[in-house]
């Protein structure tokens, strides 16, 4: 499963690391857009297989942040 940006903005903070177990609804990253912080949550339980972006990257809506397995 892919965790995607729900809107355009800067990837302000990653809250998880590769190999970490996450649960559905857990925040995995925080986007910053127009001086607002927008949490990005996992939609299912899983293990974080790969981070596709790093803190400070600009993301467009739909860009992949991470991959869960």
Over residues 1-42, the pLDDT tens digits come to 999 999 999 999 999 999 999 999 999 999 999 889 999 999
Secondary structure element (H or E) that encloses residue 27, with its range: strand 27-33
Q: Is residue 58 within 8 Å of residue 28, measured between CB atoms? A: no
Partners of 10 in the β-ladder: 32, 58
pLDDT reported for residue 57: 96
What is the pLDDT, as a whole number, of residue 65? 96
The pLDDT value recorded for residue 47 is 96
CA distances from 26 to 15, 29, 34, 35, 48 (A): 9, 9, 23, 22, 12
Contact criterion met (CB below 8 Å) for 48 and 54? no
Q: Is the pTM of this model over 0.85?
A: yes
**Across residues 36-51, what is the average pLDDT?**
95
| CATH top class, domain 2-68 | mainly beta
**For position 56, what pLDDT does the model report?**
95
């Amino acid at each position: 499963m892919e965790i995607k940006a729900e809107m355009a903005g800067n990837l302000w903070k990653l809250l998880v690391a590769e190999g970490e177990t996450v649960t559905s609804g857990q925040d995995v990253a925080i986007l910053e857009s127009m001086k607002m912080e927008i949490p990005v949550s996992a939609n299912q339980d899983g293990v974080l297989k790969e981070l596709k972006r790093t803190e400070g990257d600009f993301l467009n809506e739909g860009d992949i942040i991470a991959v869960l397995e």
